[in-house]
Chains A and B, each alone.
Chain A
Amino acid sequence: MNVDEAIARACELVPGLVQGALALLPEGLLIGGVGEATAFEHEPLVRSASRCLSACLLAPEGQAPALAFVEFLFVNEEQVLVIQRGRRSARLALAIVCTREPNLAFVLSSTRQAIRDIEGTVDLAAWGV
């Protein structure tokens, strides 16, 4: 099973899936994708993931450490974009586009499971992960 097939299998339960991209941060390298989109069409997802996951919310000096975000949800009129940071490796990001119809909580929980499945099944050693 190649990387794209493994990503597709991990995302099988994501409702309303349109396209998805697995990326390596902070370089923003596309590792693989799911859906009808080409690698070129996956690029905006990778750039979005790179933008938001590379930003930390810094705490004032001497207070709590900076907050690193693991999940982003962008809701627009027709689609939902979910970005999940790797739970084992912070360098990994999964960006998924779904239609607006499914329940948002279901989209979030299924994409959380998808990134876990990818980390558990896909051999990313070649990517240094």
Chain B
Amino acid sequence: MACGLLSIGPSPNGGIFVEGGRVCWVAANGLQRRLRDLLRLRSNLDEASLDRLYERCRVEGRLLGQTLVEEGRISANEFEAALRLHSAECLLYLCRSRETVSWSPRKGRGYSPRFTFRIDDLLFDAIALLTPQNQGTAQRELGRLDAPGRFGAAFLLNAAGDTAVPVATLGGRPSVETLSALGEWALSVPKASREFGAPTRFTLASTSSAGTLSVWWRDALLFVVRCDDRASVAALTAHHLGCS
């Protein structure tokens, strides 16, 4: 499993530290103070005490966050929430950068899995910060279609309609690679519809053996739901036609 630092920029603007394929932290220049504020607000330490603890951890080579939790200064849930929020904020900041990205393998530091995150968790956290309304709309729409044997995702389209960023999923959490491939493929459907000219209500796309996908879009959101059986396709079609 990957372990190392993804640096953004030559004198890095920030980076993403990964251990065992999970994100341990995301940091961005200028947002260090933000993490400190988040931790202070959620812990029982004042600023001076937090400084002293930070210095002690630095000297002893310990991880600040885990020490805060171990010493009862912050609850595990509060620490996790603060770290995830800060990581998502940094991720958004880094995504706006046009700097080069480089990967350097590093030795693991033994981060507790409790305080490391799946890449897709952070992605959806970042989307929640970026466009909460779209994420909420997507989650509600997909939620109405939840049923056994269905898997799907909603994507946020850019103005040109050539980039699809995952914002919500249905029926489990696929890998980021799977979501990315699904979004890239689904972009071809509204493009094909535009060639035809008339606004499309919904579409079905079928392979010869691997089931049917329903694709539809509204405003900046593109939805894809895969159905494993014909009954599910029929139910989804009825939903789109307003018959359900």
Interface residues of A (CB under 8 A from B): 44-45, 47-49, 51-52, 54-61, 67-79, 81, 83, 87, 104
| Known A51-B191, A67-B210; contact A60-B198, beta-carbon cutoff 8 A | no
Contact among B181, B185, B207 for A70, CB-based, below 8 A: B207
Q: A91: shortest Cβ distance to chain B, in Å?
A: 16
Q: B197: shortest Cβ distance to chain A, in Å?
A: 6
Q: B198 to A70, Cβ gap below 8 A?
A: no
Can you sample 12 A-B contacts with CB below 8 Å? A52-B191, A52-B192, A58-B185, A67-B207, A71-B206, A72-B206, A75-B200, A75-B201, A75-B202, A75-B203, A75-B240, A83-B192
Q: Encode B166-195 as 1/0 by CB contact (under 8 A) with A.
A: 000000000101100110110111011101
Decide if B101 is an interface residue (CB 8 Å cutoff).
no
Q: Which residues of B contact A57 (CB under 8 A)?
A: 181-182, 185
Q: A77 to B201, Cβ gap below 8 A?
A: yes
Q: Which residues of A contact B204 (CB under 8 A)?
A: 71-73
Q: A58: shortest Cβ distance to chain B, in Å?
A: 5
A44-B197, A67-B207 known; 14 new pairs, CB 8 Å cut-off, are A44-B196, A47-B192, A48-B195, A51-B192, A52-B191, A55-B187, A68-B208, A71-B204, A73-B203, A74-B193, A75-B200, A76-B198, A76-B199, A78-B198
Q: A69 to B206, Cβ gap below 8 A?
A: yes
Q: A19: shortest Cβ distance to chain B, in Å?
A: 11
| Known A56-B185, A57-B182; contact A76-B200, beta-carbon cutoff 8 A | yes
Decide if B139 is an interface residue (CB 8 Å cutoff).
no
Q: Encode B204-234 as 1/0 by CB contact (under 8 A) with A.
A: 1111101000000000000000000000000
| Known A45-B196, A51-B188, A81-B196; contact A59-B205, beta-carbon cutoff 8 A | no
**Docked pose: A78 CA to B240 CA in angstroms:** 14
Q: Which residues of A contact B207 (CB under 8 A)?
A: 67-70
Q: Which residues of B contact A60 (CB under 8 A)?
A: 175, 177-178, 181
Decide if B66 is an interface residue (CB 8 Å cutoff).
no
Decide if B43 is an interface residue (CB 8 Å cutoff).
no
Q: A23: shortest Cβ distance to chain B, in Å?
A: 12
Q: Which residues of A contact B240 (CB under 8 A)?
A: 75
Ranked nearest first, the 10 interchain pairs of A and B with the lowest CB-CB distance are A55-B188, A51-B192, A47-B195, A52-B192, A60-B177, A57-B185, A73-B204, A76-B198, A71-B206, A48-B192
**Docked pose: A52 CA to B213 CA in angstroms:** 13
Q: B208 to A70, Cβ gap below 8 A?
A: yes
Residue of A nearest to B196 (CB): A48
Residue of B nearest to A47 (CB): B195
Decide if B13 is an interface residue (CB 8 Å cutoff).
no
Q: Which residues of B contact A81 (CB under 8 A)?
A: 196
Decide if B237 is an interface residue (CB 8 Å cutoff).
yes
**Docked pose: A75 CA to B197 CA in angstroms:** 12
**Docked pose: A72 CA to B205 CA in angstroms:** 4
Q: Which residues of B contact A55 (CB under 8 A)?
A: 185, 187-188
Q: A83: shortest Cβ distance to chain B, in Å?
A: 8
